[in-house]
Amino acid sequence: MASTNEPGLKRTLTLWQVVFLGMAWNTPMIYFSVYGVAVEGSSGYLTPAYTLAVLAVLLTGASYAVMAKKIPISGSAYTFAKKAIHPNVGFLVGWVLLLNYLFAPIIAAITFGIFLGAQFPAVPTIAWVALLVGALAFIAIMGIRSSANVSRVIVLSQLVFLVAFIGILIVQLTQGTGSGTLLSAAPFLSPELTIPMAVAGASVVVFSFLGFDTMTTLSEETIDSKRTIPRAIFIMIGIVGTTHVGISYFGHLAYPAFTFANPDSAAMELMMVVGGSALSAVFITVLIAAIFAQGLASVTAASRLLFVMGRDEILPKQIFAKLHPKRKTPVNNILIISVLSFGALFIPLDTAMLFVNFGALTTFLFVNISVINLYLKEKTSYNNSFKYQLANLYVPLGGAAFMLLLIMMIEPSAVLVGLIWTAVGVGYLLYMTNVFSKPLPQISRKAQPE
């Protein structure tokens, strides 16, 4: 049994604080910061790509909700697979998940440098990256409530902008811009669109919906987590899915022939076309704040995953499981992630996104498998109802199939790097278990009291 003086996180977060932290990682404005990459990855068919992505994450989000109720412990997919399948599988899932979590702060730093660099070209990119990384580390070390409060304000400003942008598109459509109609199947259907193209697009834009995994890393810091985390997951997917599909739909109707010169700054070009310099100025202000919030949520979530793996002695406990004596935040982890974030100076945005997607989709696959495996192990006469089977068998089966399909559509080079990273994890696992002759270090731990 875990000792009473084992490092513990502080349970203070409410439903909407969890939602805002998840959406801060997800950042609703990510639609625009990766707009050019998403258009190219979906061959221009953004609306069907986002629609398929929403369906995929709804199925997997349901599996996360099931696992968050049954295993309300920080660690997300790592903890779920460890408890529901096998500790060795859990380790490998956590290892692959690290690829997602460690690259997310890098993406924030990349986009921060891109957009501020475009506004102030005389300032070197390294200065913007250093500014962001330093500010994120300071706030993250101050504590989870500081992160949640900052995230709430920034997320609300993003949602106001997205709704206003959709409103502008609707007004322009009613005034005759583009198709001049609000109802059309054109954004969803095209003679040139094929199912593989739509799925390939979904495998790219699914990056915009990955924040619900970070919510489960906050389970031990959330009040009534068994009830709060599942609700937060569906609230976030609903809000982000509605806004992203809505912008894609009305944007296609209003500007079906829109093209851009540079995918990295495609959103800026779109703003100039839709609303001129005034809209562009508001856009860049909200976007920079959104990138900051996404970076903060990424550092928060990644540091918690490293903390759990350190607490379990999967990673060196004296480094990764150490908490600040007063703030109760994993300072070492935050500093390590901050140093790694300087990789933004060398890694292209589209490459970083592909690595995140590989890590996320692979772990999503195993969360669905975890639900199925737990169902098969715990099957009794009590849980043979159709409702229970739907949530614990049929929905995760659909989610797992969707994740496999999306993984198959990821760029082969990203899959190769992901497999190499996984192979390194397998080597580390063999070392820790002496080629499976002994179990992984384990801490018998129950969730903290609600």
What percentage of residues in the chain have a pLDDT greater than 70?
A: 93
Q: What is the pLDDT of residue 444?
A: 39
Radius of gyration for the chain, computed over Cα atoms and rounded to the nearest angstrom? 21
pLDDT top residue among 382 and 426: 426
Q: What is the pLDDT of residue 126?
A: 94
Task: Output the CA angle 318-322-327, nearest 5 degrees.
Answer: 165
Return the SS3 of 210: coil
Q: Each residue of 27-80: pLDDT tens digit?
A: 899 899 889 989 998 889 999 999 999 999 999 999 999 998 888 776 578 889
Return the SS3 of 96: helix
Return the SS3 of 219: helix
pTM of the model: 0.83
Nearest CA to 303 out of 142, 441, 86 is that of: 142
Average confidence score pLDDT of the chain = 87
CATH 1.20.1740.10 matches 15-432: yes
- How far, in Å, CA of 300 to CA of 242, rounded? 26
Q: What is the pLDDT of residue 380?
A: 62
Q: Each residue of 294-334: pLDDT tens digit?
A: 888 888 888 888 988 898 888 899 999 998 888 788 999 99
Q: Each residue of 335-383: pLDDT tens digit?
A: 999 999 999 999 988 888 888 889 889 989 999 999 999 998 887 655 6
Q: What is the pLDDT of residue 384?
A: 72
